[in-house]
Structure 1
Amino acid sequence: MDRSVVSFEQAEGVEPLPTQLQLKQLTQELRALLWAVIVNSTERSATEAMTGYMGTTLVFSAQSAWGRILRDKHVLRDHLPIDEFDSDFHFQMESLKKIFWEGDYVLVFGTLQWILRHASCPPNLARGVDFCLQRARAAYRVIDGRTVAPIASEHERDALLQALTTSHEAGLEGARAHLRNAAGAASEGSYADSVRESISSVESVVRVMAPNKSLANALAELQKTSHVHPAMKSAFEKLYGYASDEQGIRHSLLLDGDSKVDEGDALFMLGACASFVTYLISKGRAAGALKSDA
C-alpha cells in the first residue's frame, strides 16, 4: 500500500476502505478467481499432439483461439522472436500463472485488457472476468466487453479518508464509526446497510451541532448559525429523502420485497456523505459549534 495517500490508521489496517475504493489493489481472492477463469478458458483450446512414438502432450494449436492469442502476445506484447514461440500448454500456463499470481495490478489488468481486445478472444471471457471483479468487489469492472476501468475515483477515496481524519480530530467518534461501518458494509455487499450508515454519519455531526432537533430542523438551524449554503442544505435533504423512502434502507423489508440499492448507490452515498461530514465540521468550527481540535 502507498502510505503517502492513506492515513496512518488506514495503512495499519485499523481504518477500512471499501474494497471498491481500493484502487491499484489485487486481493488474493481476486487473483484466484481470475486465474480460475483463465484456466477454464484455455483448457478448451488445448489439444493433444504427438511427441514421439506413442507419446502425446497438450499444445495450443495455431488454429485455436488461445493459440492465436498467445502467439500474438509472444510477438506483439512480449516482443520476442516468433521462431522461439513454444506452443506447449504447460509452458504457456506457467507463464500466464506467473502474471496472475505474482504480477502487480498494472501487469494483471494490462494483460487481461490486451486479451479482451484481441480479435480471437473467446466470447464468454469478458463476462467471466467481470463476474470475478464483481464477486471480489474490486475497484474495477469490464466496460463494453473490452476495457478494464475503475468504478470509483481517487476523489471518492480521498473524501472518505479526509472525513475519517477530520471527524477524529473533531472528537466526533460517532460519525467516524458510522463511516467505518458504511465502508465495511459496502465491502461485504450490504449496500442498503452502507447507505444507512453513510446517512447516519451526517446525522451524527448535525445533532452534535444542533442538539435535540430533527434532521430537517437541525439543517435549518445550521443554515442560520453556520452559514450552510441553501443549495447544500437542499441537496442533503434530497439525499436523506432517498435513504428514508427507498424500501429496505430506513424501513424493514416487506416479506416479499427486495431492496433496490446497488453498489453504485452505496459508493455514491459514501462519497457524498463523507464530503458532507467534512464540510459540516468545517462550518461548525467556524461558527464555534464544534471545537477546533480534540
Structure 2
Amino acid sequence: MRFSERYGYKPVRDVLLIDKITDDLRNRIWSAIYSQFLKYYEKSKNEAEQYSYLVDDIWSNFCKLPLDEMEIIQVELYRKRNISKIKEKIFNSEWFAIYDFLEFILNHSFTNLPYNQHQYEQLLKNIIIILKEESSAYSLINKQLIQVISEQEIQSIEDALENTNKFTGVQQHLNQALKLLSDRQSPDYRNSIKESISAVESICKIVTNEDKATLGKALKIIEDKHGLHAALKGSLSQLYGYTSDADGIRHAMLEESNLSYIDAKFMLVACTNFINYLIEKTK
C-alpha cells in the first residue's frame, strides 16, 4: 500500500475503489473472461465459427464497432487482431467498462448455453475470487455487480476523517482501520475492527478530558454531561465487547478465522457514525 493510502492522504473513494479500478483488477477480470471463452475463438479455427456469434456480438453491440471492419475468422492472426481490438476498446474506455463487459458476458445467451455450463461456472468462481482478492468495492450477485458499501457509509467515513483533523490519535486509528480493511495484498479484518473501536476509545477520552478513562466510564461521563441516550450507550458497549480483552479473555468474534470484509466494514462504519455523532453532540 502506498504512502498516501497508509496515512490518509488519498480520498476514501480511491482507497475503496468506488469510482476507479486498479490495473491488476482490470487485467484479472479480462484474463478470466478470455481464458473461459475468448481464447477458443482466437486459438482454434474449428471453434472460431462457433464462438464467432459471441465475438461478433461483443464487437458490434458492446464495443459498438462497425461490423464490416472485423477481420475474417479463417486466419488465426486476424482472429487475434479482432480480440486485440475488443480489448483495446474496453481498456481505453472509462474505468467501469470492464465491469460492463463482465455483466455482458455473464448475461449473454451464448455463455448461458448448456454446453458452456462448465466454463460459465468456472468463470463465476474465478470472478468471485478475483473481486475479493483485489478488494473490489463490488460483489457479484445474480449475474450483476453490486456495490458492497453504500454512499451513506462512504460519507460517514469521509466525515469522520475530516471531523478528526484536530484529533490526531483518533484519525490515525481510523486511517489504520481503513488501511487494514482495504489492503489488496494482505487485508487484516481482525485488526481493522480493533482499530475502529480504538478510535472510539480515543475520542471518548478526549471529550471527557480523562486520558485513563475506560470506554465504559467515558460513556457514563458523556451520558451525564451531554445526555447520551441509554440505548446508544448500550449498543456501543456491545460493539466494544467484540474487541475487548478483559481479564485476558478475547471475545469469540475475534477468535474466528472467517472474519470478512463485511465484518470490518460494519465496525468501521458503526464507529465513524458514533464519532461523528459524539463530536457534534459535544460541540
**What interval of TM-score do these two structures reach, taking the shorter chain for normalisation?**
0.7 to 0.9
Which residue of the partner structure matches residue 106 of structure 1? 96
Which residue of the partner structure matches residue 149 of structure 1? 146
Q: How does 1:65-104 map to 2 (within 5 A)?
A: 67-79=52-64, 85-86=70-71, 87=73, 88-104=78-94
Matched AA of 2:216: A
Q: How does 1:257-276 map to 2 (within 5 A)?
A: 258-276=256-274
C-alpha distance in structure 2 between counterparts of 1:161 and 1:47, whole Å: 48
TM-score by length of 1: 0.77
Q: How does 1:5-20 map to 2 (within 5 A)?
A: 14-15=9-10, 17=12
Q: What count of residue pairs does the alignment treat as equivalent?
A: 255
Deviations 1:215-243 (A, max 9, x none): 11211221111121222212211211223
C-alpha distance in structure 2 between counterparts of 1:215 and 1:48, whole Å: 66
Give the CA deviation at 1:76: 3.3
C-alpha distance in structure 2 between counterparts of 1:130 and 1:80, whole Å: 30
* DSSP-derived class of the 1:149 partner: strand
Contact 2:181 2:189 in 1 (8 A): yes
Give the CA deviation at 1:192: 0.4
More deviation in 224-233 or 87-96?
Answer: 87-96
Write 1 or 2 for the structure with the bigger share of strand.
Answer: 1
Contact 1:182 1:197 in 2 (8 A): yes
Deviations 1:108-153 (A, max 9, x none): 2111111111122241222222222111111111112x11121111
Contact 1:17 1:184 in 2 (8 A): no
Contact 1:18 1:186 in 2 (8 A): no
Which residue of the partner structure matches residue 288 of structure 1? none
Structure 1 stretches lacking a partner, 5+ long: 1-8, 50-58, 286-294
Which residue of the partner structure matches residue 234 of structure 2? 234
Identity %: 26
Deviations 1:164-190 (A, max 9, x none): 11011xx21111000000011011210
Deviations 1:3-32 (A, max 9, x none): xxxxxx98x971463867331211122122
Give the CA deviation at 1:68: 2.5
Write 1 or 2 for the structure with the bigger share of helix.
Answer: 2
1:43 and 2:28 matched: no
1:26 and 2:21 matched: yes
More deviation in 158-167 or 23-32?
Answer: 23-32
Contact 1:186 1:194 in 2 (8 A): yes
Which residue of the partner structure matches residue 48 of structure 2? 61
Give the CA deviation at 1:99: 3.9
Which residue of the partner structure matches residue 52 of structure 1? none
Q: How does 1:132-147 map to 2 (within 5 A)?
A: 132-144=130-142, 146-147=143-144
Give the CA deviation at 1:38: 2.9
More deviation in 70-79 or 224-233?
Answer: 70-79
TM-score by length of 2: 0.80
- Counterparts in 2 of 1:218 and 1:48: CA distance versus 1, 3 Å: closer
C-alpha distance in structure 2 between counterparts of 1:106 and 1:60, whole Å: 30
